[in-house]
Amino acid sequence: MTDLLIDPGAAHAIAEGRHGDPFSVLGLHKRGGKWVVLGFDPGAERMFVLPGKAGKPVEAVAVKGAPGLFVAELARKSDYRLRWQGHGAEWECEDPFAFGPVLGELDEYLLGEGSHKRLWQVLGAHVITHEGVLGTHFAVWAPNAERVSVVGNFNQWDGRRHPMRRRGGTGVWETFLPAIAEGEAYKYEIRGPGGVLLPLKADPVGFGSEHAPKNASVVRQIDNPTWHDGDWMASRGAKQTIDAPISVYEVHLGSWKRAPGDRMLSYTELAEQLVTYVADMGFTHIELMPVSEYPFDGSWGYQPVGLFAPTIRHGTPNEFRAFMDAAHQRGIGVLLDWVPGHFPTDAHGLGRFDGTALYEHQDPREGFHQDWNTLIYNYGRVEVSNFLVSNALYWLEEYHLDGLRVDAVASMLYRDYSREAGQWVPNKDGGRENYEAIAVLQNMNITAYGEAQGVMTVAEESTAFPGVSRPVNHGGLGFGFKWNMGWMNDTLSYMHKDPIYRRYHHHQMTFGLHYAWSENYILPISHDEVVHGKGSMLEKMPGDGEQKFANLRAYYGFMWAHPGKKLLFMGCEFAQGREWNHNQSLDWHQLEIPAHQGVQNLVRDLNRVYREVAALHVNDTRPEGFEWIESNDAEAGVYAWVRKGHAGDPMVVALVNMTPVDRAYRVGLPAGGHWTEILNTDAAVYGGGNRGNLGGVEAEAIPHHGRPHSASVNLPPLSAVWLRQG
């Protein structure tokens, strides 16, 4: 009978795991005018078909030459279950090959076109009820594979047991596995071209992962979330514009603070401890270094494998949502570092995913990052572009992220990035610009701003590429903001110098104003400035202990009064003494030392005044908000400027003395009357000498600096003083 019901070649291919379309063979089919069930389990010795709700079991016949393959004839078409026996055990299950496809025609069309905005809703692992049965639907893109199977503990990691169904020309494979539930670990076993068996692959659209060093994907339910941040979501747009005060605290979750036993904090603990701290410090936003799942701690998350999975190091997806919820309820926005520039070569990752250069370029001149030994996405492939843009939207929609800071944008924009002549492939016009990557970034920004109300995007871009924060319809990349790397490099270079030599480098501190309005800038003191032997912010400062602290306080006073939004890496707010180490907690015990406590007090007040005083933030990105009073006094090492808000807002004059000399400095003022000293980095509460102006100064009708009014202001050594009109 079996010879009439199944082709021997197909039977052998099923048993050996080589059949490219097992759904055409296994399950319930009509053959020779009869309804037959073919089942396969390589660990079974007998199979029974249990038809209907109370049908009599039908014992199947083993197919000769195909161990584990059985065939049974039914009297009529019927629902059924399978009962297996083998090695002294008996088990029952739904037949996974009895279920029809899950993906619809529209999904198939959008997947094939590479235009599915919410790719995560159709790919990955989803716990669903399908045809009345609870289980998990798996779907993955592997167009050049000869066979794809889901494997896990549930099938002894045997790819013969649960091969998937190919969906037409989309390159997508799918299957529904009954009884597979939340928390199940799985991977994909893929036979590439020529039947080559590849290393087991994690799910590119998996929502969860095992704890390192294990690296399987984990089924996680992310549907039907519970949120309590409706007020924040409705109002956040106004808090993320170029007119808003934006002060960002950059955080590496694994080393901000550790629990007893040197354990990383959970998302639940961070929702209480980190959110409370950030609120107390007055930062408006938290920026998370990447939390997309990554295999190597030393990459700090910048070499992700699971782009759709919040790292399990701190908890589950819903616990990460709870962290987001807690931040929003405290009025704090959260930005996520997003890494579309490259991915690691780990065998379980995206590299040669289906046996071919699928996500990456075949040519290493286009597809391999020499600096980081990573692979570069093939941005010109519509499915890859779709994967990345959809991932950006995923974080914004599913986790209520308030924005994305895109890592290493410069490396994406230029084909010759960090390459010598002959090591890169020009674009179609013979140039160095990466048109395809530019299109991905533009599409990401269009999608983010178009689909997620009130978000912001930020580019870490270190070149003079034009229009990074210009709208796409005006020829730009479409980002909301750009990190001002030039400002950071110039000013830190100046601050590193002994004050006696600063007169020769005076305009390193003023040069940023020549281009300050060319983009919507954020001034970044990020993690990159306190690693790899660069030392801490405190270590960068010249002088003895007291002078180091005074220099740092003066620099922060300069930064917070300078046009541009603010970003400060964790630990810099209390002048941590040593360089950042991702493997251990920040040195919170240093806050027992008054000088460190003083810097923390200063940053808290800088944030408060920056938020409260409109002149310091409303025109952060517009020239009408800034005017130099004195930019050329290199001998005195003094800088003075005006910050202006809306018409009628009190103006602020900032003065910075970058020498260790106490100065009575006459400064021209833009208006007469009283000017209140609202901040002085030499205040005793900040660790300074408490030298100031007794609460303010009176503008005298003495012309100076080209202005009809002026005042003599006491500028303590290495300090910043802010005066507010009125």
Query: For residue 398, what are the contacts with CB-CB under 8 A and spacing of at least 6?
Result: 120, 222, 225, 317
* Cβ atoms of residues 259 and 265 within 8 Å: yes
Quote the distance between the C-alpha of residue 303 and its chain's center.
Answer: 11
Question: How does DSSP classify residue 343?
Answer: B
d(CA 433, CA 441): 13
The angle, 0 to 180 degrees and rounded to 10, between the axes of the packed helices 545-561 and 594-612 is 10
Q: Which amino acid is at 691?
A: R
Q: Report d(CA 552, CA 458) in Å as an integer.
A: 26
Q: Which of 407, 436, 620, 682 is catalytic?
A: 407
Q: Which residues pair with 137 in a beta bridge?
A: 126, 176
- Spatial distance between the Cα atoms of 356 and 383, rounded to a whole number of angstroms: 14
Q: Regarding beta strands 263-264 and 456-459, do their DSSP bridges make them parallel or antiparallel, or are they unpaired?
A: unpaired
**Token output for 206:** 């998996």
d(CA 215, CA 218): 9
Where residue 277 falls (left for φ over 0; alpha for ψ -120 to 50; beta otherwise) is: alpha
DSSP-based three-state secondary structure for 441: helix
Amino acid at 140: V
Cβ-based neighbour number of residue 471 at 10 Å: 16
Return d(Cα 188, Cα 196) in angstroms, integer: 14
Query: Cα torsion at 407, 410, 415, 420 (round to 10°)?
Result: -110
For residue 564, is it left (φ>0), alpha (ψ between -120 and 50) or beta?
left
Bridge partners (DSSP) listed for residue 135: 128, 178
Q: Measured between alpha carbons, how far is residue 495 from residues 336, 545, 565 in Å?
A: 30, 15, 20
For residue 96, CA distances in Å to 131, 192, 479 come to 11, 23, 46
Alpha helices in 423-529 (DSSP H): 435-451, 485-496
Spatial distance between the Cα atoms of 506 and 638, rounded to a whole number of angstroms: 9
Asked whether the beta carbons of 95 and 37 are under 8 A apart, the reply is yes
Based on the residue annotation, tell me whether 402 is a catalytic residue of this protein: no
Give catalytic status of residue 407 as yes or no: yes
Residue 93's CB: how many other CB atoms inside 10 A? 15
Chain-centre distance of CA 370, in angstroms?
22
**Centroid of chain to Cα 79:** 46
Q: DSSP 3-state assignment of 38? A: strand
Q: Which of the residues 107, 184, 189, 460 is marked catalytic?
A: 460
What is the SS3 string spanning 636-703? CCEEEEEECCCCCCCCEEEEEECCCCCEEEEEEECCCEEEEEEEECCCHHHCCCCCCCCCEEEEECCC
Buried b or exposed e, range 200-212, using 16+ CB within 10 angstroms: bbbbbbbbbbbee
Q: How many CB atoms lie within 10 A of CB 45?
A: 15
CB atoms closer than 10 angstroms to residue 226: 8
Residue type, 282: G
Catalytic residues: 407, 460
